[in-house]
Amino acid sequence: MLWVDKYRPKTLDHALVHEDVAQNLKKLVTEQDCPHLLFYGPSGSGKKTLIMALIRQMFGASAEKVKVENRTWKVDAGSRTIDLELTTLSSTNHVELNPSDAGFQDRYIVQEIIKEMAKNRPIDTKGRKGYKVLVLNEVDKLSREAQNSLRRTMEKYSAYCRLILCCNSSSKVSEAIRSRCLNVRINAPSEEQIVKVLEFIGKKEGLHIPSGFAARLAEKSNRSLRRAILSFETCRVQQYPFTSNQTIPPMDWEEYISEIASDIMKEQSPKRLYQVRLKIYELLVNCIPPEIILKRLLYELLRKLDAELKHEVCHWAAYYEHRMRLGQKAIFHIEAFVAKFMSIYKSFLIATFG
């Protein structure tokens, strides 16, 4: 098992980061009732870990026995019936699913499964009617229709089931849903917290960590705990007695983007733009989200840029990212940004050096 999975806290008490949140959640649950929850925060901050610990807190160890199901639903949507297939993880007390996998028909999934859960209500140990928990991942990718349909079902079936929503950015979740949930913000762990976690793991593994090494790992990790632990393990695998100036392996796509950035800095012409396009396609093909490409590209460009231009470039990056989210073909907008940058940079070069 990877360390990421091995040292994942199983209970709320064992949480290493976000202890305060964990304690609050624990209090919430021990009072036997729990509102709908919306967890949001960047990836690698520990949302899922907290959610799983929370569920364990609610239902005890039985929540850990999950079975993977690939289910098909027959949904009667007015004139036709739709067959939907989706994989769910379910225990006796909770169901996890990723509704955005169903694409634009996600709304049927959400409704269908909530209704089904309402039908067979579990009875808890004390003979009272309990509730089930439905964990919905990537709510920000839910379509608007699904979010709207969720709105009513959340209220209607609130006696039978609780929803735990999980997403990266709450801005893509509609106001209506946000107001029906208790919003829990899980921010990215600070570098000190990451260092703490790394040292904890090191102790458990019996490793000696030279001073400063953990800090470097934390710094390189972009404040993502998952990434920090993974790179820690990578370093361990590559070279054991650690040295404090040991190379920390970079992410390949980031390297590739920095290549693109230096391409852009070297030459500004439509021809070069075409080469850049091909490279960006390469990244997109490998499932790297366009927003992240744009963000990273901006980061790489800014590193090499004259301070004078930074502000303008940032402005345009934001402008094109906005458009990208409105539109559909990400490549158009990324390229538009690159073109804009080239134009700005070239005119700057001409102005300064003649």
Partner 1 sequence: MDMDFDLLPDELELLEESYRINEEYSHFDPTTEPYPYEEEEEDEHLQQQQQQQQQSTSKAKSPFPEAQINDHKRTRPSDGPDASAEGVFRPSDEKRSRIDEDIVLDEDEGLLRYLPPEVTEPIVEEIVENVEEEKVLWRFASEIDGDFIPITAPSGGDRVYAKVTTEEMNERREKLYLKTPSAGLIGESIDVLLHKVEQEAFTKSLRASSGSQSEMVLSETPVVHEQLWVDKYAPFSFTELLSDEHTNREVLLWLKQWDSCVYGSEVRSTSTEVLSALRRHSSVGQHHKFSGSNSSRNNKGSRWNKENFKQSDDSENKNANSVAAQDLWNKKTRCTGPPEQKILLLCGPPGLGKTTLAHVAARHCGYRVVEINASDDRSSATIEAKIIDVVQTNSVTVDTRPKCLVIDEIDGALGDGKGAVEVILKMVSADKKSDGGKENVANEDNAQKTSSKKGRKSEPLSRPVICICNDLYAPALRPLRQVAKVHVFVQPTVSRVVSRLKYICNKEGMKTSSIGLTALADYTECDIRSCLNTLQFLHKKKESLNVLEVGSQVVGRKDMSKSVFDIWKEVFQKRKPKRERRSNNSSQTNFNEFDSLHSLISSRGDYDLIMDGIHENILQLHYHDPVMQKTVKCFDNLGVSDYMHQYIMRTQQMSLYAYQPAIAITIHRMVAQIQKPNIEWPKSNQRCRTMVIEKRDTLSSWFHTIPPHISRHLSPTSFVEESVSLLLHILSPSTLRPAALNSLSEKEKADLDQLVGKMVSYSLTYKNVKSNPLPSDLGNGATSDVTVLAFDPPIADFINFKGYKSGHYVLALAMKQVMVNEVEKQKILQVSTRRFASLTNGGNEGNQVLLGEETSRSQPDKAAKIFGKTSRPSNPSISTTSCNSDSSRSGTTASVNLKSAKPPKRSSTSFFDRFKRIGTGSQNSENVVPKEETAERDLRPLLFKFNEGFTNAVKRPVRIREFLL
What residues between 258 and 277 interact with partner 1 by CB under 8 A?
Answer: 259, 268-271, 273-274, 277
Near partner 1 by CB under 8 A: residue from 140, 279, 302, 312: 279
How open is the CA angle 26-28-30, to the nearest 5 degrees? 70
Task: Point out which span in 72-80, 93-101, 124-132, 301-309 binds partner 1 (CB under 8 A).
Answer: 93-101
Near partner 1 by CB under 8 A: residue from 87, 92, 169, 244: 87
Site string for partner 1, 109-138 (x = CB under 8 A): ----------------------------xx
350 part of the interface to partner 1, by CB under 8 A: yes
Task: Point out which span in 116-124, 157-165, 301-309, 346-354 binds partner 1 (CB under 8 A).
Answer: 346-354
Stated length of the chain: 354
Least distance in angstroms from the C-beta of 258 to partner 1 = 11
d(CA 292, CA 299): 10
Interactions with partner 1, residue window 16-45 (CB under 8 A) = 43-44
Token digits of residue 51: 């959610």
243 part of the interface to partner 1, by CB under 8 A: no
Size of the residue set binding partner 1 (CB under 8 A): 78
49 part of the interface to partner 1, by CB under 8 A: yes
Least distance in angstroms from the C-beta of 354 to partner 1 = 14
278 part of the interface to partner 1, by CB under 8 A: yes
Which SS3 state, helix, strand or coil, does residue 163 take?
Answer: strand
Contacts of the segment 347-350: beta carbons below 8 A, 24+ positions apart:
348/306, 348/308, 348/309
Interactions with partner 1, residue window 280-339 (CB under 8 A) = 281-289, 292, 320, 323, 326-329, 331-333, 335-336, 339
Closest CA to 350 of 270, 288, 268: 268
d(CA 221, CA 92): 37
Interactions with partner 1, residue window 151-210 (CB under 8 A) = none
- CA-to-CA dists, residue 111 to 74, 75, 350, angstroms: 12, 10, 60
Q: What is the 3-state secondary structure (H, E, C) of 67-98?
A: EEEEEEEEEEECCEEEEEEEEEEECCCEEEEC
5 part of the interface to partner 1, by CB under 8 A: yes
